[in-house]
Amino acid sequence: MRSLHSPVDLQTEAPAARDPDLQTIQQLRGQIRQVETGRRNDDGSIVSSGCQAVDELLPANGYNRGTIVEWISGRGSGSDFLSLLAAKNAAAEGGGVVIVDPRGEFYPPAARAIGLKLSNLIILRSSEQGPVQRLSPHQSQPLEAEDLCWAMDQSLRSPAIAAVWGTLPELDSAHEERTWLRRFQLSAESSGCLGLFNRSPRQSGSSWSEVQWQVTPQPSTNNQRRIHMKLARCQGGIAGQSIDLEVNMSTGNVQPHEPNRSKPAHSLPLAAQLANPAPRRRSARA
Amino acid sequence: MVVATSPLAQLEGVQVDTPLTEAKALLSRAACQARTRQKAPGKSSSPAVPPGATPHTVNPAGDPFFRIFQHVPQEDREALQALACEMDSYSPIVGLQTGTAQPDCIFLDITGLDALFGGENSLANQVVQFCRSLGYLVRIGVAHTIGFAQALAQHATNQNSSQVILPRQDCQSPEISRDNPAFRELPVECLRLSHHTTETLFQLGIFRIGQLLAIPRRELFSRFGNEVHHRLDQMSGEIEEPIQACPRPREFHAEQLLDHPTNHRETIEVILERLITKICQQLKSSQQGGLQWTLRLYGQHRLPVKLQVRLFAPTALPDQVTQLARMQLEQLLQPERNGKTRKRSSSSDPTCKMNGNRRWIRLDGKPLDIHEITVTVTSSVLLENRQRQLFDENPRADKQALAHLINRLSGRLGHRNVVVPSMVSGNQPEQAYQLKPLVHSGRRQHSKTFLPAHSSHALSRPVRMYHPPRPVEVVTLSPGNPTTENDHRIPSARSHSPVLLTVENRRLKVVRHWGPERIETGWWRGSLVRRDYWKVETGSNQQFWVYFDLRKRCWFLHGEF
C-alpha cells in the first residue's frame, strides 16, 4: 500500500494515466487545493521569486498572489535581499509596497538598488528612528507590536497594495502569534496582496504561510554570494527540496550555483583587486 | 543658510544668512558652555536652555539645547495665510504682502474700526495679545498707507516696542507725510524697490528716504524710471494702494450644543457622525473634499479636547471620516497599557484615561461632561472625479483604496510613522535619503531626484542599517604583523583588514572581507565624517557592514546584508 503522506514518491511514480491510485490522489489534491484557495481574490498572476530555478521548485512556478511567503534566517544571511526581490516583482504590475520596519533598520537606497521604486514604498516605523524630516524629537511615537500587526493586517487587506514586506514583530504569546498569522493569511487572500515576511529561527513556530523558506548563507566567492534555500513548507508542492543560489554582488542577478562552472579569467572588478593587494596574495601563497 | 533664529540663538551670534555649519558650531559651543555651567556647583539652572526645549530632546545636530529645523517656504506661507484667516475678527479686509514669493506681512484695513476696539492703541494691543496666544511674536505698524505701515513695523527705529502707531495729524495729506521726520528717516529698503534699484541707490550713497526726496523728481525719473516715484507716492498716500484681501476658503463647520452634558461615548459618537455627514453634504454640494478635519469636544470647566483627522487624499465620504474620527477618539481614550502611557493622543491633555468598559469618557479619572461638539474642515480642495473603467481595471491602481489605507494607517500609528522615502544628495550612508510623512501638506511638491553614487553595485549597501551605528570591537591583522585584541585602535585602517568581530558578546571570525571603501563628507556638511567601510563575512557566512571611523579611531557595526 502506498503512503499518502510521502509526496516525494509521487514524482518517481509512473504517469498518472496508468495508475488509478495516483489519478485519485491527484484528483483529491486538486479538490483540496480548490477548497483551500477558493476564497483567494487573486487575478491568477504569478509573482516570480527573481530566479527561474527557484520558481521551478514551486507548484505554481512562482508565488501566488494572496498568499504569505516566509523566510526563516538569521541576521545578515541574504534573505532580506531575496524577499525584496520578490516584492519588486510583485509591484511590477502596479501597486504599493508596504515596508513594516519596527526597528527603523530598513535602508531605502538598498531597496532602490534592487529595483524598487521609492515613491511606491510606504514605510511604517517608529519616528524616533532614522532621519525623518521635519519632526521634532520630542514628538516621537514608538510603535507597539499590536499596532504593527494591525497595520500589517490592514495593508494586506488593501487591494491597492502589491506586497507587504517586513519582519514579524515579537508578540507576547504563541497564541497571539498564531491568531495574527491566521488573520494575515485571510487578509492576503481577500485582497490578492502578497505577504513577504522575514522571521528569525526563534519565531518559526506556527505558520499559515503557503511557502516557507529556510535560508542558510554559504561561503561566498569573490563577487558571488552563495545562499542555500530549503523549502520548509509548500502547500501543493514538495517540501524538503533545496537549492544553492549565487547572487552577483555587482548586478544583483540570482542564479543557481553550479560548482563545476568555469569562471572567467579576470572576474574581479578593479576595485576589488586593488583592495586585495599583491603582497597579501603572495603571503597567502607562502 | 539660516533664514530665521530665536532671540536666544541671536544672543549666541547666529544671525539670518549665517551659514548652517557656522550656526551649528556656534550653538554647539554655547551648549557646551551651558552644560559646564550646569555642572558647576551652585549653578543648577542654565540660561541657555530655551523655554520648551528640554535637555533630553536632541536636535538633528546632536545638540540638546537648540533645535534646527529645515525651512519649508510653502509651510511658512500656509501658516501666514492661516493667521490672516484668524485675523478676520479684527478687520473685514485682511490681506497678505504682495510682490514677493515669501511674504511676511499681514495687512488689516482698520479704517473706521478703531472706535469699536477703544482706539488704535487698544486695537493694536489686542492683535499683539491674540498673536502671542497663538505663539507668534509680532510687530505692528499703524499708518494711513500699507507701505508706510509695513515700513514702520519692519524698519522703525524703536525696535523694542511691539507696536509703532503714526499719529493721525502726521498723515492728513501726502505733503505732511513727506515732511514727517519718521518718514524721512526710514531706510530706502522699505520702499519695496527691486534689488537692482536698491543696490544702485546704495552705490550712490542714498540710504534714507529723506535723501531721495531731496533729489529732483526729473533726475530720479531719468535714472530709475517710474519705479522710485511710484513707490514714494504709494507710501505717502499720493497714489492709493488697496489691500488685496486673501481669498477666504469656504468654511465647512457644524456644531451641536447639548442641553444635558454627557460623557456617554456612544452618544458622542452618534453626534460626531451626524455632524460629519452634514459637513460631507456641504462639501459634496461644492464639489470639494476635506483634507484636514478638526473635532472639538467642549467639556465643562475644561480646555476643549481637540481631535485632528488628517487625510492623504481629500474625501467627502462620511463613512471614511467617521471611521477615522472614531479611531482618534479610541486613541484618546486608550487606557495605559503595561504601565506605559500612550503618546499619540493629540489632546491638549495627554493624560487621558478611560474606565474599563470604555462606555464613559473620562479625563484625569474624572468624567468629561461634554456640552458642545464642533466639527470643522480646516483644509479642503476640489475633488477630482475620475470615471472608472468597466472592465480589466487593475485593482492595484485604485488610488482611492490606497488613500483610504494611508488615512487609516496614519490615523492609528500617527502620521509621522507612515512615511515615504526619497533620495537626497550625499555620500554619508545615513544621510543619503530622507523620509517624509505621507499625510503632509507639502507632499505634492516634487523635489529633485538624486541618483545614489553607488547605483552600479546592487549589493554594495546593506538592506538593514543601524541607527545609530553600534560600537563594535574589531581585531585587525596587518600584513606580517599580527595584532592582539587590545590593539584595535590603529593609526590607519586602510592597510588593516578586520579578522575578528565581537557582536553582542559573541566573537565572530571574519573569513572574507571586501574593502575598504573610503567615505568622506565635505566641510559644508557640518562635522566632518571620514570612514573606511568594510563588508565582512563571518565564519557562519553572515555578511555585515563595518567601518573604521578615522576621526574617533574606533570601529562601528553599521548594517547587515
pLDDT band at B358 (very low <50, low <70, confident <90, very high): low
Eight-state DSSP code of residue A211: E
Option in B434, B467, B561 nearest A76 (CB): B561
CA dihedral of residues A131, A132, A136, A137 (deg, nearest 10): -50
pLDDT band at A22 (very low <50, low <70, confident <90, very high): confident
pTM: 0.70
> Which pLDDT tens digit goes with each residue over B169-184?
666 677 777 788 888 8
B233-242, B327-336, B427-436: least confidently modelled range = B327-336
DSSP string, B312-323: EEEE--HHHHHH
Do residue A109 and residue B423 have CB atoms under 8 angstroms apart?
Answer: yes
> Which pLDDT tens digit goes with each residue over A107-117?
999 999 999 99
Query: B284 vs chain A: nearest CA distance in angstroms?
Result: 25
Q: Given a cut of 90, is residue B361 above it in pLDDT?
A: no
Mean pLDDT confidence for B347-372 = 59
Burial of A12 (0-12, 13-18, 19+ CB in 10 A): exposed
> Which pLDDT tens digit goes with each residue over A142-197?
677 888 899 999 999 999 999 999 988 878 788 888 899 999 999 999 998 999 99
Mean pLDDT confidence for B70-98 = 85
Q: Given a cut of 90, is residue B431 above it in pLDDT?
A: no
Query: A13 vs chain B: nearest CA distance in angstroms?
Result: 38
Answer with the residue of higher pLDDT: B350 or A32. A32
Q: State how far the alpha carbon of B366 is from the alpha carbons of A159, B224, B361, B369, B470, in Å.
A: 43, 71, 9, 9, 46
Strand partners, B530: B520
pLDDT at residue B334, rounded to an integer: 59
Q: What angle do CA B339, B340, B344 make, to 5 degrees?
A: 150
Option in B461, B515, B538 nearest A113 (CB): B461
Do residue B421 and residue A123 have CB atoms under 8 angstroms apart?
Answer: yes
For chain A, the straight-line distance linking the first and the last C-alpha, in angstroms and rounded, comes to: 62
**Which residue from B322, B327, B337, B325 is spatially nearest to B413, judged by alpha carbons?**
B327
Do residue A112 and residue B452 have CB atoms under 8 angstroms apart?
Answer: yes
CA B385/CA A120 separation, integer angstroms: 22
> Which pLDDT tens digit goes with each residue over B437-461?
888 654 444 444 555 545 445 578 8
pLDDT band at B344 (very low <50, low <70, confident <90, very high): very low
CA B299/CA B347 separation, integer angstroms: 13
Task: Mark residue B87 as left, alpha or beta (left: phi above 0; alpha: psi -120 to 50; beta: remaining).
Answer: alpha
State how far Cα B135 lies from the chain centre: 14
Query: B451 vs chain A: nearest CA distance in angstroms?
Result: 10
pLDDT at residue B250, rounded to an integer: 72
Option in B399, B459, B463 nearest A247 (CB): B459
Q: Given a cut of 80, is residue B40 above it in pLDDT?
A: no
**A80: which chain B residues are within 8 Å (Cβ-Cβ)?**
463-464, 560-561
Strand partners, B503: B506
CA-based nearest residue in chain A for residue B561: A76
Q: Given a cut of 60, is residue B275 above it in pLDDT?
A: yes
For B134, residues 6+ apart whose C-beta sits below 8 A from its C-beta are: B83, B86
pLDDT band at B218 (very low <50, low <70, confident <90, very high): confident
Answer with the residue of higher pLDDT: B209 or B57. B209
Q: Given a cut of 60, is residue B47 above it in pLDDT?
A: no
Do residue B560 and residue A141 have CB atoms under 8 angstroms apart?
Answer: no
Query: A197 vs chain B: nearest CA distance in angstroms?
Result: 14
Return the sign of the alpha-carbon dihedral for residues A272, A277, A280, A282: positive
> Which pLDDT tens digit goes with each residue over B519-546?
888 777 667 888 889 899 998 899 999 9
pLDDT band at A134 (very low <50, low <70, confident <90, very high): very low
Supply A46's cell numbers: 504569478
Query: A30 vs chain B: nearest CA distance in angstroms?
Result: 28
For chain B, the straight-line distance linking the first and the last C-alpha, in angstroms and rounded, comes to: 37
pLDDT at residue A229, rounded to an integer: 94
Answer with the residue of higher pLDDT: A22 or A48. A48
Percent of chain A with pLDDT over 90: 39
pLDDT at residue A13, rounded to an integer: 44
CA A2/CA A13 separation, integer angstroms: 11
Q: Does the ipTM surpass 0.85?
A: no
> Which pLDDT tens digit goes with each residue over A65-81?
999 999 999 888 999 99
Do residue A130 and residue B67 have CB atoms under 8 angstroms apart?
Answer: no
Eight-state DSSP code of residue A188: H
pLDDT at residue A47, rounded to an integer: 92
Most confident residue range from A47-61, B57-71, B157-171: A47-61
Eight-state DSSP code of residue A106: B
Q: Given a cut of 80, is residue B504 above it in pLDDT?
A: no
Strand partners, A217: A227
CA B429/CA B220 separation, integer angstroms: 57
Option in B435, B458, B480 nearest A113 (CB): B458
Percent of chain B with pLDDT over 70: 78
Mean pLDDT confidence for A82-90 = 94
pLDDT at residue B374, rounded to an integer: 92
Do residue A143 and residue B417 have CB atoms under 8 angstroms apart?
Answer: yes
Mean pLDDT confidence for B289-306 = 84
